[in-house]
Amino acid sequence: MSEERFLKLLNRKIAGEATIQELEELEQLLKTRPEWQKMADLLLTGPPAPSPEHTHAAEAAFAAQLVKMQLRGLVETPAADLPARRRKKWIWIPAATLLVAVAIYGGVLLLRQPAPETLATNEMVTPPKARSAVKLPDGTRVWLNASSRLTYNEEYGKEKREVRLTGEAFFDVAELADKPFIVHTAVMDITVLGTAFNVKAYPDDKSTAASLIRGSIAVTIKNRAKDRITLQPDEKLVVDNGITRLETIPPAGAGRQTLVAVNKLAYNPADSTLDETQWMHNKLVFRDESFRELAARMERWYGVTIDITDPQLQEKRLSGSFEQETIEQAIEALTITTPFRFKKTGDKIVIYR
């Protein structure tokens, strides 16, 4: 029995889609291949905390397996922009055969022993095309969208709970009245006690947004302590990413609306869903977005690069949604309402008139 068949069965079990016959087949496979059983345990339940004497051996074994899987194209090469020995890093695996299910429901925890003089950092990363979920030590649940990064250090939960986000995430925060939960982004800091909200903070986007689903949050704009905004349920705060470069914020009625805006969330009348959280259900929804903004989202969603050569086409406003479409199907669908041509070479797409 091939390893591809094992991975497919494991993927279906993780996603909750396996039939009784497939579960029985998987069980028989695991009995005959102990090394596959270890992999299944790791992805289904997460790794146990290793004892100090076994940490080095465990890391060596994991590293060897990771290299093997990378060579087969099953694992994204992990990013490493911090010294590995100074942090703990979660590596999310969007395997070609495991698809998104492992990225959402499973994860591989690579433990690194921190240097005695440094504070260890936990880092969760999702590459393009993947979405993932993690439960923090206090019970807070976090869903990460594609091309996103969440970090927190070993002080998390002692006096307060601080995380740093680059990208997009949905937070369902465990309520601890004496330990505020704070999300830091490049543009804003969001403080909560117990609530559910979505934060979109990609560095290349025009704006950063916080959408409140339940509870309340207080948002402080970076370098502007007086600009503290409290959101109520079903409200969305949008802040222009260039605001931190301004010396003064224009007063209301003098351009401020384009820099800081609080809007009501719009629910889909058909199924009472929110556009802001549809990514958690593997649906890319866009409402009155410029083609340029949509292209940036599609790059993260599909793991491609998109170059729109026509300036007027870049500003064309578009609305719609993609769920199971391939990148080619999605681009073709856009040509129906917006005439253009495109050429795809590998992972690069050029769009032109």
Length of the chain: 353
- Convert the pLDDT of each residue in 213-253 to its tens digit: 999 999 998 877 677 899 989 999 999 888 765 444 444 44
- Convert the pLDDT of each residue in 13-43 to its tens digit: 766 666 777 777 888 888 888 777 766 766 6
Dist CA 185 CA 183 (whole Å): 7
- Convert the pLDDT of each residue in 52-96 to its tens digit: 444 444 444 444 444 444 444 433 434 333 333 334 444 443 333
User: What b-and-e string marks burial along 288-322, b requiring 16 or more CB atoms within 10 Å of the CB?
Assistant: ebbbebbbbbbbbbbbbebebeeeebeebebeeeb
Dist CA 222 CA 234 (whole Å): 23
The stretch 326-352 carries a mean pLDDT of 95
Token look-up 């299944």 returns 40
Cβ partners under 8 Å of residue 335, min gap 6: 341, 342
Residue 215, token pair as written in the block: 């509870």
Residue 352, token pair as written in the block: 């032109």
Dist CA 147 CA 233 (whole Å): 27
Q: Which of 123, 190, 194 is nearest to 154 (CA)?
A: 123
Residue 231, number of CB atoms within 10 A of its CB: 21
Global pTM reads 0.65
Contact 78, 125 (CB under 8 A): yes
- Convert the pLDDT of each residue in 177-221 to its tens digit: 899 999 999 999 999 977 999 999 999 999 999 999 999 999 998
Token look-up 């698809």 returns 99
* Residue ranges of domains in the chain, CATH in brackets: 136-275 (2.60.120.1440), 283-352 (3.55.50.30)
